[in-house]
Amino acid sequence: MKIPQPFLPVTVESKNLHHTVRVVGREYTFGPDGMITSIKSEGIELLAAPMRLVCIEDGEPAVFDRDYANNESESFIQRRSDSEAVICGAMQTDRFLINTCQKIGYDGNVDIDFKLLTRGYTVPQNLGLEPIIPQSYRLDRLWLEVPLKKELCTLFHQSPVSEVKLSDGTILPKNSMSSSGAIPGSAAFPFKTLFWLGNEERGVGWYAENDRNWQPEEPDKAIELVVQEDCVILRIRLLDSHPKSWKGDLLKGTGFLPVEFFFGFQATPVKPFPKQPYIHNAFHIDCGIKIRGNYRDFLDQDNRFDLLKERGVTTLILHEKWNKSQNWFELSEYTESQLKYICDECHKRGIQVLPYFGYEMSSLSEIWSSQKNELAHLGPTGRFQSGWWRVPFQRDYICCYASDYAEYFLAGVEKIMDTCHIDGVYLDGTAKLKCCYNEAHGCGWRDEDGQIHGTYPVRATRDMFRRLYDIVSSRGGEINVHCVSQMNFTVLPYVHQTWYGENLQAELLKGNSADVNLDYFRAEYIGRNMGVPVEFIVYAKEGVWTFENAMSTCILHGILPRPNDIGHPLEMMSEVWKIFDAFPVEKSRWCPYWNNGAETSHEKVKVSYYSFTTLRGEKQLLAFVSNISNQKAENVEIKLREPVTRALDVTTGQEIGLQFDLNGYDYKILFVE
């Protein structure tokens, strides 16, 4: 298959019984037993030591056979191609075997099919030529431990979101921003489909579709963080007791079937972060700030197509109302006519168009009655989920992309791109992994007692995005994704830009916080640690939180907010876009407040900047000074590493120096020489 940009063909190098698999920006090394011994991102080693299994058999710590010289424990290359490599591993203890089949794709995802088995008898033992020594096939513990370098593990992300139990008994409650933040210390979590550890530049993500066959002693301690002096251990407690499926005489355990687990790893960033992260000047119509009537009529009024061009818009994003039947992929006659018209008018002005698609199935869809049971995302009681009310009057229920709905989606997008000439898609919630219990399309699973459990469709969602990326990218288009409380790093290789921000603002709008939570922002919203640029969604409330306040926080972290009203804030963003267009961002070095050495006289004021060196060797900065608090900061003094000859406020054109007042959540954009 053809490897899409910016990815590279997979390569494998074998040396000293180790196999190193390289993909764009990352490499994974597998040891002689198949365990991962090294993960490098952009040349930086992330592991403090090789991954390891902690196993207790029949009350004693298990000892794994390390007889690599005689190839009794070994890893080997099953197959390799430009698109993927498959590494198999085999290892054993006195009583048990571990088999792994690890598939590494060009996107960097490492899928691990992990099997636990009891040892059988040798041929001489089966023939009676050697004695069979009775032993108990009892397994008491099986943990996977991932030791990570402590200096590279300052931030975390979890999904689904839950409270966090610290080792001292403290419980950090679940709230709008508990999905991400600073590592709180040694802590325990229930099962997660996604768990990421890293910093502002890189990290390692762990993923699993479900907790099938898991048996942690306490469900709230299925996953642990163990913070030690020199490393942070991610501990996956697969088994804290003998597998429930292994029933019967433990002395005759050779008849037990394998116990299977599926999980995987993804090193980040998932692809090279673009040198110009402000990939477009986007205007989002009808999101938050609602308009009445059809989008075509709205844009035709007062020559608004020309107005968008004049204000520097390069991408028009159409919200959900462009399509009469929500998230359906066969367009009505009017919908197709409107979309073609809007695309034609925008393309005349050099503006691309991204229409909305989501995660729902409409009651207006012609397949609702015949296929809803097979396509729906179901909750634990078998009930349909959500059921949003939409205009024209309809209800929309969550679909599952592990079902055939993915095929409708892909075929529909391809047809719409070719017939209406859209420039990609804006996806609302499509990338978010949701726990589905619908056995009709293979999501739910049942335990030994017949109790149903849910599945997060990691592989199905990723495969759909991979195919969508081929469709959209081959036509020169863009995939723009909005998600809440989840950084799905398994699909981010196939996303051009993400759109976050609701969680942080939920707390600010309620008045629950007087400061912007910087740890949360750096973990989830900066994009550089994932490799995908971010825009910020803004929900304004006059007197509490404004678009200008959001701008202050965004520019400090190297991202921009997305305007959603034809007047303000588009007028404001138009001037900001001009500032960013005038400075050579793509040739500059990003120097954020957490590592640039800049100092301020007020603890709530931070400074980030782009640094550019001219041909004469002169340094120029585009600097962003932001107050992260809602309280005024008076007479703030800024100190940079090098002497400053001039500081110009580029929004006013006035020289102001590096000492000034900042209102709550206020900012300055400075050109500094």
Which of 516, 592, 598 is CA-nearest to residue 549?
516
What architecture is domain 282-500?
A: Alpha-Beta Barrel (3.20)
Residue 254: what pLDDT? 86
Q: How many helices (H) and strands (E) does the chain have?
A: 11, 44
Contact 496/276 with Cβ under 8 angstroms?
no
Domain boundaries, the chain: 11-268, 282-500, 591-672
Give the integer Cα–Cα distance in Å for 537 and 562: 6
Q: In the structure encoding, which two tokens stand for residue 589, read together? A: 């070095």
Indicate whether this model's pTM tops 0.75.
Answer: yes
Q: What is the distance, to the nearest Å, from the Cα of residue 658 to the centroid of all Cα atoms in its chain?
A: 38
Question: What distance in Å separates the CA atoms of residue 169 and residue 217, rounded to the nearest whole number?
Answer: 17
H or E segment to which residue 552 belongs:
helix 547-556
Beta-bridged to residue 659, according to DSSP, are: 637
Give the chain's radius of gyration (CA, Å): 27
Looking up tokens 């996806």, which residue turns up? 427
User: Which run of H or E residues covers position 669?
Assistant: strand 667-672
Is domain 11-268 classified as CATH 3.30.70.920?
no
User: Which pLDDT does position 69 carry in this prediction?
Assistant: 63
Q: What is the pLDDT of residue 70?
A: 66
**Rounded Cα gap, residues 619 and 640, in angstroms:** 12
Q: Directed axis angle between helix 405-420 and helix 458-473, to 10°?
A: 10
Q: What are the structure tokens assigned to 562, written together?
A: 């997305």
282-500 and 591-672 in the same fold:
no
In CATH terms, the superfamily for domain 591-672 is Golgi alpha-mannosidase II (2.60.40.1180)
Residue 431 per-residue DSSP state: T
Q: How far apart are CA 591 and CA 27, in angstroms?
A: 26
Task: Give the 3-state secondary structure of residue 447.
Answer: coil
- β-strand 478-482 against 424-428: which pairing, if any? parallel
Nearest Cα neighbor of 217 from 241, 189, 195 is 241
Residues in the chain where the model's pLDDT stays below 50? none
CA distance 311 to 466: 34
